[in-house]
Chain A
């Protein structure tokens, strides 16, 4: 499940900044903002290339783990959010503790999801690890 905000909304904001803020006389600030915009573009490009395959896979695994509550008509992201809300409650109640049968299965799903998101948002972080 991708992180809010949607990176495409940040691209929209970047466009606004580029068109509105050229009177900014602080070079450092503009350089910093330009680097952030470049980073947003990189993430968006990566997400477009990756597509929704990983999220579909994640959804399938979560659906195997818990009873589906979400409407199949909703987007993958929304369905994952619904299902994960339920998972979060169950984690808090202790229903995925180390002595519970589904502990390892959920841990594997979360490990994989964590890795997938780092590969989308900052793959450099994994270099040398």
Chain B
């Protein structure tokens, strides 16, 4: 973020309807591999936010990932979720003016807790505490799947005309075509997917990145669901599978629900709150797709350095996660039906 504290303070003053807004402290938050998040401590004088407020500024990274939403679209989803009682940070203001800090951004309240997946999964919990957390997560996911976007804010949102699985396969083929290096294992996985499509579900609003690492957790409590940049219509089983996929368990493979606990606790809560049955075959399908998707993203991240010359170690090194994901794709497609 550029130095523009004065411009940012002016923006905050006007957006909050206050007399002044003074930034007391700001620092980059470590979460957000694709977007940049900054903590802002702001002292407002007058207006509804008068006093010290702990805020978060979310802005685009220099390079965008395919199919990720613009900040204004993400802001619309965040507002919809907040207004419908989903646990998310309260969205406050959106700034279209790129002159303020160099890119578009939005401001939301900062919420307590930890998103860091390793810390979240390594935190010691009893079985009851795990089950309670997974109950909350299953219930919240069901609430996301009940969202009904409408109106001008969601003009950008198109329902796919084909089954979500086919739509996603097409998207991934397009992503592979855009990469400079062939990825035969991912092609193999996508062909397997075309030949083993799941039963079509009614398209539902899905978060599409609901996983450990994007969930703000305070000890044993779910505080908020972050990172709505991939939200879209899809098959609800895609979200369930993304959360449970092995690639998002951070080494705790025996805790199949996000590295935090049992699938049963998560599934039960989800089924009860959504009034929808878990389709186990579809989950297996979408877990293979999860590994394919993550491998594509890993390779795309590597290209930020290899092709675009972005001098950042994290995306460059992310590419090297692809081999283990691709190995899982081979293993899982072979195990299908066994």
Judge: A and B partners, yes or no. yes
Find out whether the CB atom of B191 lies under 8 angstroms from the CB atom of A13.
Answer: no
Q: How far is the CB of A26 from chain B (nearest CB, A)?
A: 8
Alpha-carbon separation in the docked complex, A91 to B192 (Å): 10
Find out whether the CB atom of A88 lies under 8 angstroms from the CB atom of B306.
Answer: no
Find out whether the CB atom of A122 lies under 8 angstroms from the CB atom of B317.
Answer: no
Alpha-carbon separation in the docked complex, A106 to B299 (Å): 22
Q: Which of B123-131, B158-166, B221-229, B323-331 contacts A (4 or more CB under 8 A)?
A: B323-331
Contacts of B314 in A (CB 8 A): 32, 36
Which single member of B187, B303, B320, B330 contacts A88 (CB below 8 Å)? B187
Please list the residues of chain A having a beta carbon within 8 angstroms of any beta carbon in chain B. Answer: 1, 3-7, 9-10, 13-14, 16-17, 28-29, 32-33, 36-37, 39-40, 43, 81, 84-85, 87-88, 91-92, 94, 96-98, 106-107, 110-111, 113-115, 117-118, 120-122, 125
Find out whether the CB atom of B191 lies under 8 angstroms from the CB atom of A3.
Answer: no
How many cross-chain pairs have Cβ atoms below 8 Å apart between A and B? 115
A91-B184, A91-B191 are contacts. A14–B306 as well, Cβ < 8 Å?
no
Alpha-carbon separation in the docked complex, A88 to B179 (Å): 13
Please list the residues of chain B having a beta carbon within 8 angstroms of any beta carbon in chain A. Answer: 30, 173, 176, 180-185, 187-188, 190-191, 195, 299, 302-303, 305-306, 311, 313-314, 316-317, 319-324, 326-327, 329-330, 334
A4-B302, A5-B306 are contacts. A113–B313 as well, Cβ < 8 Å?
no
Determine the main DSSP class of B at the interface with A: helix
Residue of A nearest to B311 (CB): A13
Alpha-carbon separation in the docked complex, A5 to B305 (Å): 7
